[in-house]
Amino acid sequence: MGFRDQTSARGGEGEWLTLGQAARFLGVAQSTIRKWSDQGRVPAFYTPGGHRRYRRADLQRFLERSGPGGSASTGPLILLVDDDERVRELVRVNLEFEGYTVREAGSAAEGLAAIDDARPDLILLDVMMPQVDGWEMLRQIQERHGVGAIPVVMFSGQVESGDVARERGAQGFVGKPFDLQQLIDQTKQVLPT
């Protein structure tokens, strides 16, 4: 019996999605939904060829259990602001694996809008960004919410930025290119899961 026959035989339990479709539905990376299904957080069906299939109804229930805002994770909310999409994806996937909920922003303007939409528990902020850099975004966050009201960890390729970050009210600093484990450790120090 093929996969299509098996899904029909299950009594019309809903539409089945591929891994990529399910990841888009939840708004997460494919590696994240694979991890969640391996942990049993999201039910998955494995085809005879080893491919995962997800029932849309199961994914919808998972989103509803995750609470307001449609977040697919229930951990503390981190806002990651960096203009490099690859860096954001790498950091997001690893932080989600650690149990955090991660929102991404590709610029200071997107980041400030995201803060207005849902106040994060921590902001990971790149210093070097076009238009408005991380220092200016940090100043605007402090102006709107108060110094230290939202913890901020800065990251930059400029090593001397570490002292400057603390002087300007950031709770931490990680050099770039960063050791991913160092960034995760710094995040856990400021915001335990």
Which band of pLDDT confidence, cut at 50, 70 and 90, is reported for residue 103?
Answer: very high
Whether 111 contacts 125, CB under 8 Å: yes
Per DSSP, 173 falls in state E
Q: What is the pLDDT of residue 137?
A: 95
Q: What is the pLDDT of residue 112?
A: 94
Distance CA 193, CA 189 (A): 10
Same fold, 13-69 and 75-190: no
Does 140 score more than 90 pLDDT? yes
Whether 105 contacts 45, CB under 8 Å: no
Which band of pLDDT confidence, cut at 50, 70 and 90, is reported for residue 160?
Answer: low
pLDDT tens, 37-57?
877 778 888 888 889 999 998
Q: β-strand 16-18 against 45-46: which pairing, if any?
A: unpaired
Q: What is the pLDDT of residue 3?
A: 42
Arch. (CATH architecture) of 75-190: 3-Layer(aba) Sandwich (3.40)
Which band of pLDDT confidence, cut at 50, 70 and 90, is reported for residue 143?
Answer: very high
Of 9-23, 107-121, 142-156, 175-189, give the lowest mean pLDDT range. 9-23
Question: Residue 162 corresponds to which tokens in the numbers above?
Answer: 């570490």
Distance CA 79, CA 124 (A): 6
Give the domain ranges of the chain: 13-69, 75-190
Q: What is the pLDDT of residue 92?
A: 87
Arch. (CATH architecture) of 13-69: Orthogonal Bundle (1.10)
